[in-house]
Structure formats: structure tokens, C-alpha cells
Amino acid sequence: MYGVGVDIGATYTRVALADERGNFIDRISEATTKTGDGLSLTYQIIRMIEQILERNDIKCGDLMGIGIGSIGPLDIKRGAIINPPNLPFREVPLSEPLSKAFNVEVRVFNDCTAAVVGERIFGAGKGLDNVVYITISTGIGGGAYVDGHLLIGKDGNAVEIGHMVVDPQGLRKCGCGKRGHWEAYCSGANIPKYARILLSERDNLEKSLIYEYARGNLEDLTAKMIYDAAKRDDRLALEIIEKINTFNAIGVANVINVYDPELITLGGSVVLNNVDLVVKPIKNMVKEYAMNRIPEIKVTPLAGDVVLYGAVALSLGLAP
Ligand SMILES: [Zn+2]
């Protein structure tokens, strides 16, 4: 028997075919459809699954299920994506059309929930009952097991840690519309916006590598430029990153105080591309803010595949 895992991201949608033990047999990645209505994405996913089954000569009857880790927000009861801020659709139905197309059970979770499932079944969290996964990517999100229970919540959004308030003064407004949220300062999409506020108070910007990388136009600033400048010891970049690291440490400390995990794994592009500048400072500073005993904190060994592994685990009925 086989399982199919689907990772629906704002940029890419990926499908993996796995054997009963979760070993990947084949995979397909495509740019996520952004035209038509929500059903065009549904049909894209159906096509990708058909293609991966066909080229591996696998029939629907050989499938145990389909697992999906998706960008949100979700309505998990309906198994659909509803009004996603990063896709131009009102609703993307998943559970019903996919279970009809392949005649199997379809399980849909938000991507970070799927990721912590992947971590616990196939990654660093094997055998542990208290595990949190945190992604710092375009946004910031998390998934958590507490006492062996996967936290889901009434709408599937139990661990929206990126929207915890870390700055009560609310200097930055978050993409969700509220002020002072962790994600509004420290996610890949927001780091440049926060940096522009910090830089607006500074003179002599011309001497900074940040200014050089952005070719003198701070509107073109990216998170990568700031981290790249910091890797070359640019003083201004390091100052910005120190501010970001403080918010990251507060965010992770809140996670430790709330969920009391024995392991926190970190993933997402901002983490995976800047391990020394992101993870080490969190480990050093988190004890200043956390009351609970500090857990092991490390980068996910599943790297960019953590959501896909979780989706595969869900498809095989290995979790929760
Ligand atoms: Zn927010």
C-alpha cells in the first residue's frame, strides 16, 4: 500500500508518493496556480496526483489515503482553504473533490500542524510526546504536540504563534491587521519593512552593505540582503538582526512557557538559510524570557520537506 502527501504553499505545490513506511518513491513540484477560481487549484492537485500514480503504475485501490498540509486559513470541517491572504481565491475545496476523485480518505491540516506531525513521525521528534515545530518563512507559524496530543483547535488554528504580541507598543502592523505581532517584525516578508523603520532613524546609510545591496533604494530591500550583509559583519545589518533576534527569543520563550515542550525544531527559509544568525541567538537569549525549563532547540533535520513528510504520515494513518 501507498500514501500520497500534498504540501500546498503560496509559491509551490508539491506531491510525494510514499511506501507504507513513509519512504518517498517519487515527487512532483509545480508553481501553485494563481489564475481562475479556487477549483483551478483543486484540479491542479488532482492532476499532479494522477500523474504521480500513473507514472509509478499505482492504482487508487493501492492508496491508503491522501494527506494535505496547506497554507491557511482552513475550515477543517469542510476540508477547504478559505480566503487565503496569499492566493487570489475565495475558497479552495480539497477534501470532498479529492476523496471523490481517488476514492480514499483525505486529511487536511494547516501546513505547520502537518509539519509537527512530520517531525514527530519521521524527524527529530520520534518517540517524544511534547514537540513544537516553528517555521520562520514568509510568515511565522507553529505546530504542537502536548502530552502526545496534536493541538488543532476549533478552526484548525490552535498554534498561530506568529500572531502573538511581542511588541505592546505596536510599532508594526501585521498582515492580519493587528499590531505588534511577532510575524510583523521577524518573518521573511516583514523583516525588510521593520528594517526600513529602523533605518529611517539612521544617518550614514551609504556606508552600509545593506544600502549597496539594495542599490540605494531601500524599497527594494529583502531579508536576504540584510542577512547577507550581516554575514559580512556589516554593523548596521547586525544591529537590525539583533532587534529581530530579541523578538525571536521572546516568541520562542512564550512557546516554551505555554506548551512546555521537550523539543522545539525550527524550519522555514529564514532559519534554514541563516542558521548561525537565527538559531544560536535564540538559544542564547531565550532563557532571559522563559520561566519553564529550556528544551532542546534545533533546526529540523527534514529541512524543506517537513510539511510533505507530515502530509505523508497523515495519508498513511500514522498520526495523530
Ligand atoms: Zn498578525
Q: Are residues 232 and 139 in the same domain?
A: yes
Give the Cα separation of 86 and 220 in Å (integer). 20
Mean pLDDT of 15-26: 98
Check whether 320 has a pLDDT greater than 80.
no
Assigned C-alpha cell, 46: 488532482
What distance in angstroms lies between residue 173's CA and the mean position of ligand 1's atoms?
A: 8
What distance in angstroms lies between residue 45's CA and the mean position of ligand 1's atoms?
A: 29
Check whether 110 has a pLDDT greater than 80.
yes
- Work out the pLDDT band at 175, boundaries 50, 70, 90: confident
What distance in angstroms lies between residue 135's CA and the mean position of ligand 1's atoms?
A: 15
For the stretch 52-74, pLDDT in tens is: 999 999 999 999 999 999 998 89
pLDDT of the residue at 154:
85
Mean pLDDT of 253-264: 98
Q: Are residues 262 and 310 in the same domain?
A: no
What distance in angstroms lies between residue 33's CA and the mean position of ligand 1's atoms?
A: 25
For the stretch 267-308, pLDDT in tens is: 999 999 999 999 999 999 999 999 999 999 999 999 999 999
Q: Are residues 62 and 151 in the same domain?
A: no
Q: Are residues 85 and 109 in the same domain?
A: yes
Assigned C-alpha cell, 14: 508539491
What distance in angstroms lies between residue 163's CA and the mean position of ligand 1's atoms?
A: 4
Q: Is residue 98 part of a domain?
A: yes
This prediction's pTM: 0.95
What distance in angstroms lies between residue 185's CA and the mean position of ligand 1's atoms?
A: 10
- Work out the pLDDT band at 6, boundaries 50, 70, 90: very high
Q: Are residues 177 and 234 in the same domain?
A: yes
Check whether 104 has a pLDDT greater than 90.
yes
- Work out the pLDDT band at 76, boundaries 50, 70, 90: confident
What distance in angstroms lies between residue 172's CA and the mean position of ligand 1's atoms?
A: 10
User: Is-contact 304 108, C-beta < 8 A?
Assistant: no
Query: CATH number for the domain including 37?
Result: 3.30.420.40
Alpha helix positions (H), the chain: 38-55, 95-102, 111-122, 183-186, 191-199, 209-213, 223-231, 235-259, 269-272, 275-285, 306-315
Nearest alpha-carbon partner for 142 in 122, 171, 172, 164: 164
Which residues 6+ apart lie within 8 Å of 184 measured at CB? 172, 173, 174, 175, 190, 193, 194
Q: Are residues 277 and 205 in the same domain?
A: yes
What distance in angstroms lies between residue 183's CA and the mean position of ligand 1's atoms?
A: 6
For the stretch 240-255, pLDDT in tens is: 999 999 999 999 999 9
Q: Are residues 116 and 135 in the same domain?
A: no
Q: Are residues 117 and 130 in the same domain?
A: no
pLDDT of the residue at 319:
87
Q: Is residue 81 part of a domain?
A: yes
Alpha helix positions (H), 56-190: 95-102, 111-122, 183-186
pLDDT of the residue at 72:
85
Beta bridge partners of 109: 69
- Average confidence score pLDDT of the chain: 96
What distance in angstroms lies between residue 178's CA and the mean position of ligand 1's atoms?
A: 6
pLDDT more than 90, % of the chain = 91
What distance in angstroms lies between residue 149's CA and the mean position of ligand 1's atoms?
A: 25
Q: Are residues 129 and 117 in the same domain?
A: no
pLDDT of the residue at 10:
87
Q: Residues whose CB is under 5 A from ligand 1 (ion)?
A: 163, 174, 176, 181
pLDDT of the residue at 166:
97
Amino acid at position 196, single letter = R
What distance in angstroms lies between residue 313's CA and the mean position of ligand 1's atoms?
A: 29
Q: Are residues 134 and 98 in the same domain?
A: no
- Work out the pLDDT band at 24, boundaries 50, 70, 90: very high
pLDDT of the residue at 117:
98
User: Is-contact 56 63, C-beta < 8 A?
Assistant: no
Task: For residue 71, give its domain range.
Answer: 2-121+305-315
